[in-house]
């Protein structure tokens, strides 16, 4: 069993519980022990970097210092948390005078090796392992993969080798037996936290994504970001109404489909948390849960 650090972030305790449950289950199947960063705090998210640079850096530095004391790397499922932690590390490397003495004394924020969960779970070694473990091939699913913004950009901060065209989850899903469509909107923006204060902007961006996904012949969308999942799943009926056409595109976390393909018995429980229920699609594909 290999041990890695794990920074869940606030959303995974609520809105993205399905992501948390499925990734923990999948880690168990793959024999990866997730060691939660003890007493982690919020990354500050959009509010932090928008309104208070100093707070954003200190919130990040505390998490990094706590994470550095545990096993490495530290996997982060939420793309925004990942981006905020990497940004804090990047900016503090240039100027750490933003830190309060109390936070600076917590430990070495430089030493944490922060990795986005989808990159970790699509490493060649894990993919090879997954290939031997598939029990229910995802035949009949025609996904497009939607990575979103924050895991990739800017590459000088994230270190992502393919920031305009990531392919990790595409490769994973192909191994799981899905018929993955390539599309040029993998890293487009869904509007993120605007879903609360400017839902009109999110409807515009997400509406476009639906249309493009359907044009590619996709019957579902797969993501590794809990903001993307929320924005594409929660308001689908309403945004479809605005488009004046029917849209049925279940939005999976890649960990949910990984768990399903590896035969995990709890997959139905995770998927029942979605507002756009994938049950009809899965039943039609012979993958009823």
Partner 1 sequence: MAPETVSASALRPSGEFLRAGLAGREFNLAACFGCKKCTNGCPLTFAMDLLPYQVVRLAQLGQVEALLSARTPWVCASCQTCLTRCPNQVDLPGFMDWLKERLFRAGAEVGETRTLLFHRLFLEEVAKRGRVFEGSLLARYLLKSGGALGPEAMKNARLGWEMLRRGRIKLVPSRVRRRRWLKGVFSPKEARS
Question: Does position 243 bind partner 1 by CB under 8 A?
Answer: no
CB of 240 to partner 1, least distance (A): 15
Structure tokens of 82? 């990942």
The 61-80 site mask, x for binding partner 1 (CB under 8 A), equals -x------------------
Residue 159: asked if its preceding bond is cis (omega within 30°), the reply is no
The C-alpha atoms of residue 38 and residue 20 are separated, in whole angstroms, by 17
- Tell which one of 70, 71, 100, 248 touches partner 1 (CB under 8 A): 100
What would the x/- binding string for partner 1 be over residues 19 to 58, using CB under 8 A? Answer: --------------------xxxx-xxxxxxxxxxxx--x
Q: What x-and-dash track marks residues 108-147 binding partner 1 by CB under 8 A?
A: ----------------------------------------
Q: Contacts with partner 1 in 78-97 (CB under 8 A)?
A: none
Task: Retrieve residue 239's tokens.
Answer: 């945004």
Residues 187-216 that bind partner 1 (CB under 8 A): 188-189, 191-194, 196-198, 200-201, 204-205
Q: Does 238 bind partner 1 (CB under 8 A)?
A: yes
8-state DSSP, 253: E
Closest separation in Å from C-beta 129 to partner 1: 30
**Min dist. Cβ of residue 241 to partner 1 (A):** 12
CA pair distance 183, 173, nearest whole angstrom: 15
What is the spatial distance between Cα 131 and Cα 171, in angstroms, rounded to a whole number?
A: 11
CA–CA dist 52, 207 (Å, integer): 32
Rounded to whole angstroms, the Cα distance separating 26 from 55 reads 34
Spatial CB neighbours of 155, under 8 Å, sequence gap ≥ 6: 161, 163
- Contacts with partner 1, 255-274, as mask; x by CB under 8 A: -----------------xxx
Looking at beta carbons only, is 102 or 246 nearer to partner 1?
102
* Nearest-angstrom CA–CA distance, 96 and 213: 43
d(CA 7, CA 277) in angstroms, rounded, equals: 28
| Integer Cα distance of 176 and 160 in angstroms | 24
Residues that bind partner 1 (CB under 8 A): 10-11, 13-18, 39-42, 44-55, 58-59, 62, 100, 102-103, 106, 149-150, 152-156, 163-164, 188-189, 191-194, 196-198, 200-201, 204-205, 234-235, 238, 272-275
């Amino acid at each position: 069993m290999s041990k890695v650090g794990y920074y869940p972030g606030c959303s995974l305790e609520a809105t993205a519980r399905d992501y948390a449950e499925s990734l923990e289950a999948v880690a168990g199947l793959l024999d990866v022990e997730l060691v939660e960063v003890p007493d982690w705090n919020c990354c500050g998210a959009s509010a932090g970097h928008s309104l208070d640079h100093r707070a954003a850096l200190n919130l990040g530095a505390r998490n990094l210092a706590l994470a550095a004391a545990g096993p490495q790397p530290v996997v982060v499922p939420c793309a925004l948390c990942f981006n905020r932690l990497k940004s804090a590390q990047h900016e503090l490397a240039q100027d750490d005078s933003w830190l309060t003495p109390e936070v600076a004394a917590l430990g070495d924020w430089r030493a944490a090796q922060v990795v986005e969960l989808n990159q970790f779970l699509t490493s060649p070694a894990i993919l090879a392992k997954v290939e031997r473990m598939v029990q229910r091939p995802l035949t009949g699913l025609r996904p497009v993969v939607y990575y979103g913004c924050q895991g990739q950009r800017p590459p000088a901060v994230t270190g992502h080798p393919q920031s305009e065209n990531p392919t990790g989850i595409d490769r994973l899903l192909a191994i799981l037996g899905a018929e993955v469509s390539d599309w040029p909107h993998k890293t487009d923006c869904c509007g993120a936290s605007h879903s609360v204060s400017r839902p009109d902007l999110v409807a515009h961006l997400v509406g476009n994504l639906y249309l493009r996904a359907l044009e590619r012949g996709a019957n579902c969308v797969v993501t590794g970001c809990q903001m993307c999942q929320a924005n594409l799943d929660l308001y689908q009926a309403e945004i479809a109404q605005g488009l004046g056409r029917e849209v049925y595109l279940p939005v999976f976390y890649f960990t949910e489909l990984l768990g399903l393909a590896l035969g995990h018995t709890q997959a139905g429980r995770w998927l029942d948390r979605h507002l756009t229920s994938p049950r009809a699609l899965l039943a039609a594909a012979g993958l009823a849960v």
